[in-house]
Amino acid sequence: MTRNNQNILIVEDSADDEELMLFALEKSGVKKGIIILRDGADAADFTAAVGMFSDRGADDMPQIVFLDYKLPGMTGLEVLKRIRSNDSTVTMAVIIMTTSTEQTIEEESIRLGASGFVHKSQGLDEFVDAVKRQLIDYCGPTP
Amino acid sequence: MRRPRISSKLSRSVKYIEELHSELNKANNGLLALTAEMEQRVTRRTEQLEAVNAELESFGYSVSHDLRQPLRVIEGFSQALLEECQDKLDDVGVDYLVRICRGTRRMADLIDDLLNLSRITISAIQKTDIDLSEIARTVIKQLQESDTKRKLKVEIPDGLDAHGDPRLMHAAMENLLGNAWKFTANNPNAEIELGSLDKKREKIYFVRDNGAGFNMEYADKLFGAFQRLHQESEFPGTGIGLATVQRIMRKHGGDIWAESEEGKGATFYFSL
ipTM of this complex:
0.76
Q: Which one, of B125, B108, B106, B117, lies nearest residue B61 by Cα?
A: B117
Chain A closest CA to B39's CA: distance in Å?
A: 39
- pTM for this prediction: 0.67
Cα gap A34→B199, rounded to integer Å: 65
Q: Which residues pair with A93 in a beta bridge?
A: A64
CA dihedral B103, B104, B109, B112 (to 10 degrees): 150
- Among the partner-chain residues A16, A100, A127, the one whose CB lies closest to the CB of B73 is A16
* DSSP H or E run through B267: strand B265-271
Q: Do B80 and A16 touch (CB under 8 A)?
A: no
Give which of A121, A126, A127, A131 to mutate to test B binding, by max B Cβ within 10 Å.
Answer: A121
Rounded to the nearest 5 percent, the helix, strand and coil shares of chain B are 60, 15, 25
Closest-CA residue of B relative to A120 is B72
Cα gap A35→A122, rounded to integer Å: 24
DSSP A7: -
Per residue of chain B (272 residues), give pLDDT as tens: 567 788 888 889 999 999 999 999 999 999 999 999 999 999 999 998 888 887 877 777 777 777 888 888 999 999 999 989 989 999 999 999 999 998 898 888 888 888 888 878 777 888 999 999 999 999 999 999 888 888 889 999 998 999 999 989 999 999 999 999 999 988 889 999 999 998 888 899 999 999 988 888 888 888 887 777 777 777 777 788 888 899 999 999 999 999 998 888 999 999 98
- For chain A, the distance separating the N- and C-terminal CA atoms, rounded to the nearest angstrom, is 10
CB atoms within 10 A of CB A79: 29
- Asked if residues A140 and A2 have their Cβ atoms less than 8 Å apart, the reply is yes
In B167-196, the residues whose Cβ lies within 8 Å of chain A are none
Closest-CA residue of A relative to B106 is A123
